[in-house]
Chains A and B, each alone.
Chain A
Amino acid sequence: MSTKPKAPAKVLERRSAVVALLKDRKDLLVVTGLGSPSYDAFAAGDHPGNYYLWAAMGSATTVGFGIAMAQRQRPVLVLTGDGEMLMGVGALATVALKAPKNLTIAVLDNGHYGETGMQLSHAGRGVELDEVAASFTVPWTRRVSDMAGVEELRTRAHQRAGLSFATIKISAENPPRALPPRDGVAVKNRFRAGLGFGTI
């Protein structure tokens, strides 16, 4: 495996890709991985159906998986980054065994750890996470680098067409931070209230 950065021929700008993915979201539930994906989702519009992670790196996929298994009629989207996905990559094997039809995992892949100074990640050194997901028997995987691919993913998520995984290749840049609420209890209660559940 090469340790040199591999620049994909074509990449998207992260904020516009996320806006397109969350367009006309209806009953979509969204979990975001810590760092930029949380900022991107918040910048696209705060929503009671969003759950933003600020830590527990590697958990975005498993949190989305749990929601998907408890709310089988709702489409669930995990929106995370390549570094966050790598830290919890075994979860793809766990998710694939159950393969909930209503779960879509979108990895914003810039090949870098954007939050800590843009160091190259494994994805930036040649690891293709969509191929990892396919090896872990995720039934539908894509490597997206244009808006048509984003729209295909969005449509598939809303159709609850089957467990789906895509890397969305984005440029390595940090747009201005848009910070979602850090009060995890408040955001949890808001999320659950949106589904009709109360507090203890």
Chain B
Amino acid sequence: MADTDNTPWREAVYRALKDSGVKHVAYVPDAGHATAIRMAEADNDVTSVVLTSEQEGIGYLAGAWLGGERGALLMQSSGVGNCINTLALQTMTRFPLLMVVTMRGEWNEFNPWQNPMGQATETSLNLMGVLTWRADKPEDVEPLLRGAATMAFDGDHACAVLLGQRMIGAKEWVK
């Protein structure tokens, strides 16, 4: 799973965000998002914001929407745990929150320390009122993300698309 891996779904993520009118991409780096992050950073029409912790992105995107602009938040599943209390901001403000989450702690995970949060990711999001969809096949990524964007931006929902580890490819620990 290298940054040079340009399988079509990786670019489709960014294309779907752009087509949805996203002007702000907030992220904590993750290898699974490397293509989208690189494309966002290279895009002069998009403000890319690297965060120290994922919940900063919820506040940032709330602010961007108060200021009239759309954004998306990219993170790894471990970061979902960092977001839980801050998701109240979305529930009470009801601004469009679109999240794309790369999964760890599931199929073929080498590092068991990833498993507690990875296994709790989708349920945690649902408990906080976030609508979720899982993409486990490359051809599902773009339609799921476009549908999630519709429900976020046309419905003021919090929506997350989870990209499965089997599709992304598990991290290589020994090369």
- Interfacial residues, chain A to chain B (CB-CB below 8 A): 31, 51, 53-71, 88, 90-91, 93-94, 97-98, 184-185, 188, 191-192, 195-197, 200
- Interfacial residues, chain B to chain A (CB-CB below 8 A): 23-24, 47, 49-53, 55-69, 71, 85-86, 88-89, 92-95, 153-156
Q: Indicate if the CB atoms of A192 and B93 lie closer than 8 Å.
A: no
Instruction: Name A199's closest neighbour in chain B (CB-CB).
Output: B156
9 A-B pairs (CB sep. < 8 Å): A51-B66, A56-B89, A62-B58, A65-B60, A67-B67, A69-B49, A88-B56, A90-B53, A94-B51
- Set of chain B residues within 8 Å of A185, measured between Cβ atoms: 92-94
The majority secondary structure among interface residues of chain A is helix
Instruction: Name B90's closest neighbour in chain A (CB-CB).
Output: A56
**A94 in contact with B86 given A66-B24, A66-B67, A188-B66 (CB within 8 Å):** no
The one of B71, B88, B94 that contacts A56, using a Cβ cutoff of 8 Å: B88
- Set of chain A residues within 8 Å of B51, measured between Cβ atoms: 90, 94
> In the complex, what's the smallest C-beta–C-beta distance from A129 to chain B, in angstroms?
16
> In the complex, what's the smallest C-beta–C-beta distance from B88 to chain A, in angstroms?
5
The one of A59, A70, A98 that contacts B67, using a Cβ cutoff of 8 Å: A70
Q: Indicate if the CB atoms of B67 and A71 lie closer than 8 Å.
A: yes
- Set of chain B residues within 8 Å of A58, measured between Cβ atoms: 55, 59, 86
Complex-state Cα separation, A197 to B24, whole angstroms: 18
Question: Given A66-B24, A66-B62, A185-B93, 17 more contacts at CB 8 Å?
Answer: A56-B89, A62-B59, A65-B59, A66-B63, A67-B67, A70-B24, A88-B55, A88-B56, A93-B52, A94-B49, A94-B52, A98-B47, A184-B92, A188-B66, A188-B95, A192-B68, A195-B67
